[in-house]
Amino acid sequence: EAGVTQSPTHLIKTRGQQATLRCSPISGHTSVYWYQQALGLGLQFLLWYDEGEERNRGNFPPRFSGRQFPNYSSELNVNALELEDSALYLCASSFGTDRNYGYTFGSGTRLTVV
């Protein structure tokens, strides 16, 4: 069974540009979560999508947005990139909102803003 896949692995952007990160959940998983791990910091919750709807949002500015497609894959968009957006962005998936099924993480996208 394929795990959670994220693309690209690495992304280098210039300040002010837009970045698009992609996530494919485990087959059958309907929920996708996005987290940011800045250097030396913990995992900060960004966004949660379930069944195509945004269910919850972390304490991030509106320039962080995303969507979930009918096949449950997801995109995270970061507009007007700032230097402090440089971080590892992690995606996790789960089966609906039932935590007993567990949360599986991808390997992340390393975003560098220069």
Point out which residues bind other proteins (CB under 8 A). Answer: 4, 33, 35, 41-45, 48, 55-56, 88, 90, 92, 97-100, 102-108, 110
Distance of closest approach, residue 109 Cβ to other proteins, in angstroms: 10
Q: Measured on CA atoms in the order 69, 28, 65, 80, is the torsion positive or negative?
A: negative
Q: Compute the least distance from the CB of residue 5 to other proteins, in Å.
A: 11
Whether residue 48 contacts residue 36, with contact meaning beta carbons closer than 8 Å, is answered with no
Min dist. Cβ of residue 20 to other proteins (A): 19
User: For strand 5-7 and strand 19-24, is the pairing parallel, antiparallel, or unpaired?
Assistant: antiparallel
